[in-house]
Structure 1
């Protein structure tokens, strides 16, 4: 894509695979060639991948369309938003928010806050389901918000899609893309807002 000089390229061997690999590519500008900065294994949704209904790139017609609660990670190309963490991180080149137990991501399709990051104590409670952004585990200790189904968020198309720390290499997610903590840390310090990073996620076949 024009003006995107960092790409997080994820590919899985099949539509139902829960494992894949992420390749970090970077270039100085559109006239320069892409260079591989790093690569490492990832896990995706427990039901594999499903395509973004509004994808701007061609995807396999046999892939199901991503829906709320399907346990699938979205396939397509997506901008990235804020890095988030339980800790106050310094020296990042991305927008950042330190999350605590007051931060929710709403996944209730009937809520005005669907697929939004909110502060629980200031929101009008019109939702019955949400994700805590600070978990009892280290899953969201470090993460990146993926701008899937955003601007506008279409009810039912899927919500709360992140890059985050995995439980282990054999445990899938509910629809996010996860990796080892050490790789998550490398990723968030590599990302640069000025390079307009995007996540490109596809099935290899």
Structure 2
């Protein structure tokens, strides 16, 4: 591990010698991720993309892509676009990237179960804004808006996200 890795600890994400409070999946961490389990997958992942709402904020980094009204993320395990960005219309189950709330105003995507997605192994493991401190997610890692913005400005594609099997410490982090 280096200071250029995002490392989940029982107290938050450590990056560049800073500790950023975060929320994880409401069911803690898992080594056996499945779609809909509300757990954050253990492992070494990489940052693959940066998306932002241009109508709500300035471009955070040169590699950021705008989120438009038709941008979706497929979460249907039986669809060929499972765990991929796609565009509306899409009949299969999906998440809208352009939400009414601010949770996806800024989104960092990861390589969890990507690019060759295994059906049912989980989709849309993002870094995004939290609802409130320590409020558990569906499996993503969530931050205060200002911390997420700082990350977006300082991360690069390929940055490692290390989620070690912290079990009790990380599970307690989600429940607090």
Please say if residues 164 and 177 of structure 1, whose CA atoms lie closer than 8 Å, have aligned partners that are also in contact.
yes
In 2, Cα distance between equivalents of 1:172 and 1:77: 21
TM-score by length of 2: 0.86
Aligned to 2:148, the other structure's residue is in SS state helix
Alignment check: 8 A CA contact 1:112 1:126 kept? no
Partner residue in 2 for 1:33? none
Computing the radius of gyration from Cα coordinates, the structure with the larger value is: 1
Q: What is the deviation of 1:100?
A: 2.2
| Contact 2:52-2:65 within 8 A present in 1 as well | yes
Give the Å deviation of 1:202.
1.9
Match status 1:98 vs 2:78:
no
Query: Following TM superposition, where does structure 1 have runs of at least 4 consecutive aligned residues deviating by more than 6 angstroms?
Result: none
Are residues 1:111 and 2:79 paired?
Answer: yes
Determine whether 1:170 maps to 2:134: yes
Q: For 1:187, which of 129, 151, 159 is the aligned residue? A: 151
User: Take 1:72 and 1:9, find their aligned partners in 2: how far apart are those partners?
Assistant: 17
| Aligned CA-pair RMSD | 1.9
Q: 1:197 aligns with which of 150, 159, 163?
A: 159
Quote how far apart the aligned CAs of 1:43 are: 0.2
Residues 11 and 203, structure 1, Cα contact 8 Å, conserved in 2: no
Q: Distance in 1 between matches of 2:84 and 2:60?
A: 25
Equivalent of residue 27 in structure 2, options 24, 38, 47: 47
Runs (5+) with no aligned partner, structure 2:
168-176
- C-alpha change, 1:170 and 1:90, in structure 2 (3 Å) is closer
Render the CA deviation track for 1:171-193: whole Å, top value 9, x for unaligned: 11101000000000100001134
Higher RCO by CA contacts (8 Å cutoff, separation 6 or greater): 2
Q: How many residues align?
A: 165
Q: Secondary structure at the match of 1:70?
A: coil
Is the 1:45–1:174 contact (alpha carbons within 8 Å) kept by the matching residues of 2? yes
Counterparts of 1:191 and 1:147, CA distance in 2: 15
